[in-house]
Amino acid sequence: MVKKPPFSPMMMKYLEVKEQYKDTLLLYRLGDFYELFFEDAKIASRELELVLTGKDAGAEERVPMCGMPHHAVKGYIEKLIKKGYKVAIAEQLEDPSTAKGLVKRGVVQVITPGTMIDTGLEEKRNNYIAAIEDFTTFFVISYADLSTGEVGVLNIEHDENSLTNELEALECKEVIVDPSFKLSYLDLMKAKHNITVSFQEESEITLEYESLLVNTNDIRQEKAIVRLVDYLTRTQMRSLDYLQPAKVIKTKQYLQMDAFTRFNLELTRTIRSDDRFGSLLWILDKTKTAMGGRLLQRYIVRPLADKSEIERRLDNVEALANNYLERMEIINGLKEVYDLPRLIGRIGYGNANAKDLIQLSKSLKVVPSIKSAIYKIGTPSLSLLADQMPDLSAINELIEASIVENPPFTIKEGGMIKQGYNTDLDELNSLSKGGKDWISRLEAVERERTGIKGLKIGFNKVFGFYIEITNSYLPLVKDEFGYIRKQTLTNGERFITQELKEKEALVLGAEDKAIKLEYEIFVSIREEIKKYTEQIQKLADHLSVVDVLTSFAEVSIANDFVRPLFNDEHKIQICEGRHPVIEKVIGHNAYVPNNTYLDETKNLLLITGPNMAGKSTYIRQVTLICIMAQIGCFVPAKSANLSVVDQIFTRIGASDDLVSGQSTFMVE
């Protein structure tokens, strides 16, 4: 006797899929809902505050179940990811209307904290995922932002603090390691930031990774990059050929700060509230684009240690500051630029809609005016930035010719493609519209023919077009009208006629064909734009730099900052220096400036004074001036003559809240 399966065929298929994704919450598409079962349902019900129900699945007891409508699933996924869960999406892989037996379903994507691309992302913050390779004497970290296509790699010292420092600097949400990796190295990150740890076996380095590895010549760095990309490809289940060549980060080129130093100096977040307000990033961020905001944060986390590169940035900031009209023209242009890296990321990933293409087109339109303003300023370094911005007018012309000005969010319901772009589509739309016009006129014709004033023509997806007559008019219906009863309602009846059904088939057939053709046309347009991925990413990089430099110029003018000078004599001479954030909060005139002098013979200052005298503020002030100078910004002082600093250490009172005027002593 054949043993009966413990569950229904549908549930057995679900369990088969779930077996492959044990460490994820499986969202299983059933009709218009995504459903979760068993322990997944209990977790989702608790975390999302959804009603936990049960499903008859062939067993004696009902299976725990909860679900969410497909149109609202992004919000639910975002909440689960923020709580540290991984989510696997199982979709219908065939058309239910043509499937024989159970509709085939399978996982099409695994979403994790480090692989979010189109929901839950902060505009001006990267969403990095990192892979770590342990080579006994040092670690290699490769990292990527799936939403922008950025990839980087660097070597660091082999100790837990250095590892934690770099992962915190990147603000990584997820780390990929070999199954044999010593997980205790990540205990600190897991405790402080609830970082997700995932595993990926080592893969062979083949030619398919060649474009990613063009900047590397270290096999150990290449291993880290390949492990990361393999994990991304495995979870996203598609080609990720929009990922950029890995940028090799050489830490000696940058000013070194550990995580504790960045935290205490409140570079990107304040100590007390973990908020941008009151941080150095807050005071410096006048960027107009999301991509510029992300670059500014990277500048602040990694200030330069190369004097010539610092001077080049300062030259550009000075030129922008001295040319008001051109600077305003650049700013007005940047305001119209959308998030190009994430737009081309969605195009490359394959989930961009028509609105994304319109945003891309609007962004490209203003690039010529930005370049023109840069050329008017006339400095060689800025002009070189403009020279390197590729001409992408062909993409703009394609989008303007093909996509309607205000397209829908969906790409499978039509309404995206302009009339005149495709002859076949125009013919189908004309056929569909002509039929609908005929049906809209039919109501008046039928009222006149039958004498039934309450007659209405309606439509729904179940019955198609129908003639609806309320109960009070039903006695007027005669056999010679040719009405065929279709549905009985509480307040009337619905009828069809042979002529109406024939027209319906024509209208709906043309409409379905038009929608299908529109989708195919849109995908072909998206694929054509995808060919320009590298040029769009290059344009985004240069516009981001212009945005940050312009932000520095704006901030410097608004806050009376001065251009710092640099010397090779290990000297720091600051005249009337100020703390940039505190003076902004309490007012420029209320802040008392201070002088600082250090050189090779006087290389130590011992700062003393009573509680709340301003010792911490003074120390931070000097440090922030050095950092601001080395990211290429002007500084809050009457004058500043500085030496390039290669490392900063701080151990300042852990409870200081300088912005609100409270020292460690006062807080305690």
User: What's the average model confidence in pLDDT over 536-541?
Assistant: 97
* Nearest CA-CA partner of 352 in 539, 121, 147, 105: 147
pLDDT in tens, 140-150: 999 999 999 99
Q: Are 395 and 361 in contact (CB under 8 A)?
A: yes
Cα dihedral value 615, 618, 624, 625, nearest 10? -160
- Identify any residues that bridge with 24 across adjacent strands, giving them in sequence order: none
Share of the chain above pLDDT 90, in %: 56
Nearest Cα neighbor of 243 from 143, 327, 161, 333 is 143
Reduced to 3 states (helix: H, G, I; strand: E, B; else coil), residue 201 is: coil
Query: Can you name the residues that pair with 575 across neighbouring β-strands?
Result: 639
Read off the pLDDT of each residue in 611-617 and give the average, rounded to a whole number.
82
CB atoms within 10 A of CB 242: 21
Query: Residue 655 above 60 pLDDT?
Result: no
Please spell the DSSP secondary structure of 470-488, one letter per residue: EGGGGGG--GGG--EEEEE
Confidence of residue 668 (pLDDT cuts 50, 70, 90): very low
Residue 542, pLDDT > 80, answer yes
- For residue 583, the model assigns a pLDDT of 86
Joined together, the tokens standing for residue 653 give 């009172």
Q: What does the mean pLDDT of the chain come to?
A: 89
Confidence of residue 3 (pLDDT cuts 50, 70, 90): very low
**Helices 340-349 and 354-365, axial angle in degrees (round to 10):** 140
Q: Give me the mean pLDDT over the 31-57 stretch.
A: 89
| pLDDT recorded at residue 12 | 85
The per-residue pLDDT for 34 is: 93
d(CA 593, CA 595): 7
CA–CA dist 485, 186 (Å, integer): 71
Query: Burial level of 24, CB count in 10 A (0-12/13-18/19+)?
Result: buried
Q: Which residues pair with 177 in a beta bridge?
A: 199
Tens digits of per-residue pLDDT, 80-139?
Answer: 998 889 999 998 877 766 666 677 888 999 999 999 887 778 899 999 999 999 998 999
Is the separation of the CB atoms in 568 and 589 below 8 Å?
no
Decide if 139 contacts 133 (C-beta within 8 A): yes
Nearest by Cα to 349 from 164, 120, 661, 111: 111
Instruction: Give 253's strand partners.
Output: none
pLDDT for 666 equals: 46
Rounded to a whole number of angstroms, the CA Rg of the chain reads 31
Structure tokens at 161: 């603090």
Higher pLDDT, 500 or 272: 500
DSSP conformation letters of 330-368: HHHHHTT---HHHHHHHHHHT---HHHHHHHHHHHHTHH
pLDDT at 388: 94
- Model pLDDT for residues 405-456, shown as the tens digit of each residue: 999 999 988 899 999 999 888 888 887 777 778 778 888 888 888 888 888 8
Mean pLDDT of 227-243: 93
Instruction: Tell me the sheet residues that pair with 488.
Output: 493
Environment class of residue 71 by beta-carbon count within 10 Å: exposed (0-12), middle (13-18) or buried (19+)?
A: exposed
- The tens digit of pLDDT for each residue in 259-295 reads 888 888 989 888 777 778 889 999 999 999 999 999 9
Q: What is the pLDDT of residue 174?
A: 93
Q: Write the DSSP string, 78-98.
A: HHHHHTT--EEEEEE-S-TTT
Distances (CA, A) of 317 to 270, 322, 465, 557: 27, 9, 66, 10
- Joined tokens for residue 129: 């995922």
Tokens describing residue 636: 């809050």
pLDDT digits (tens, 9 = 90+) for 291-321: 999 999 999 999 999 999 999 999 999 999 9
DSSP 423-473: HHHHHHHHHHHHHHHHHHHHHHHHHHHH--TT-EEEEETTTEEEEEEEGGG
Euclidean distance between CA atoms 552 and 320, whole angstroms: 9
For residues 459 and 494, the answer to whether their CB atoms sit within 8 Å is: no
- pLDDT, residue 97, reads 63
Q: 274 is written with which tokens?
A: 């973990």
